[in-house]
Amino acid sequence: MNVKFSFDKAIVEQRGFTLEDVYRTIKSLFAAHGFPCGSKGDILSFTDKGHGDDFATMWDIILSLLRSEWFVKCATSCVWQDEDSEEDILSQAGKA
């Protein structure tokens, strides 16, 4: 399982932040639970650790982000991937 995030730099800066601020915030949420970050360019990617509770923990983090106004305004993508499927989480932000 993994989740990937990307952000709109212009919107982030309009809100008084930098991409580095956003990346640091997202990374700290996942790092607190030991999830590794694999960044490729402007995309942040976090992968599970292979533990039974990884799914629930990762979703808790994602849902907390979806409930925050800054994240929904600044994110351009939030995609959940598991073995055989991919889900666009950002498009469901209003349901969180």
CB of 3 closer than 8 Å to CB of 82: no
Q: Is 58 helix (H, G, I), strand (E, B) or coil?
A: helix
Q: How many CB atoms lie within 10 A of CB 29?
A: 16
The tens digit of pLDDT for each residue in 42-86 reads: 899 999 999 999 999 999 999 999 999 999 999 999 999 998 899
Q: Does this model's pTM top 0.85? A: yes
